[in-house]
Amino acid sequence: MDPRPVRIALVEDDKELRELLRAGIERADTLRLVRTFADGEDFLAAFPSLDVDVVLMDINLPGKNGIDCIREAKPMKDNVQFMVLTVFENPAYIFQALSAGATGYLVKNEEPEALHAAIHEIRAGGSPMSSAIARMVVASFQTEVQTKIHDHKLTEREKGILDQLATGLMYKEIAAKSEISTETVRKHVRNIYEKLQVGSRMEAIRLVYPKGL
């Protein structure tokens, strides 16, 4: 659709893979590989004067890792899209990368055609993810209100109280909304803490929303 080819930068320290990817990209006339980097520092130094649409970024780089590179580079040019290209399916990396500003995340064993499609998709406003990655991202939403409150053998009342507790409401606010006394709220909270084996609001929340980083 767009007659102009997508301008691409590639940051990948492994020479063999870099050349492989380069060859694949240069074979497509809808893509244009502007420049490659073997090192995060080099990339960051060159990025301000680099005119590209999409950056393909490895995570495990010498010097500065790919996630930190994205975190620093993304705010400079918000319309440049960063696609992580890595062998790691570690959830921690995925969430860190997305938080840092990546909009796509592919595992490296994708077919060249899939990579090309993903590049066009990210350019067009999508967020291409390898299927296992997408599933993990989706799963992070599900452990959110699913396992947590709905498990742990809390009573319905207790789940409701915990929910409000996690929202940051004070006992007196919870009491008002639930139309019970604050003393009762305190009692419920104590029972919740006992069942969850925690001793403070924050600990309970962290059990319920294991989000942190």
Pairing type for strands 54-57 and 104-107 reads: unpaired
Whole-number Å distance between alpha carbons of 114 and 43: 25
Query: 103 is in the binding site of which of DNA, a second copy, none (Cβ under 5 to 8 A by kind)?
Result: a second copy
End-to-end CA distance of the chain: 39
Nearest in space to 55 (alpha carbons), one of 41, 43, 72, 68: 43
Q: Does residue 209 bind DNA (CB under 7 A)?
A: no
Q: Does residue 181 bind DNA (CB under 7 A)?
A: yes
Distance in Å, CB of 141 to DNA, minimum = 26
Query: What character string, x for contact with a second copy (CB under 8 A) and - otherwise, covers 69-88?
Result: --x-----------------
Q: Does residue 66 bind a second copy (CB under 8 A)?
A: no
CA distances 155 to 6, 101, 161, Å, are 55, 40, 10
Whole-number Å distance between alpha carbons of 23 and 13: 16
Query: 155 is in the binding site of which of a second copy, DNA, none (Cβ under 5 to 8 A by kind)?
Result: DNA
Nearest in space to 205 (alpha carbons), one of 162, 169, 171: 162
For DNA, the binding residue among 60, 127, 140, 178 (CB under 7 A) is 178
Which span sits near a second copy by CB under 8 A: 29-37, 38-46, 57-65, 132-140? Answer: 132-140
Give the angle 46-81-91 at the CA atoms, nearest 5°: 105
Which span sits near a second copy by CB under 8 A: 6-14, 40-48, 123-131, 184-192? Answer: 123-131
Positions touching DNA (CB under 7 A) are: 155-158, 170-172, 178, 180-181, 183-184, 186-190, 193, 199-202
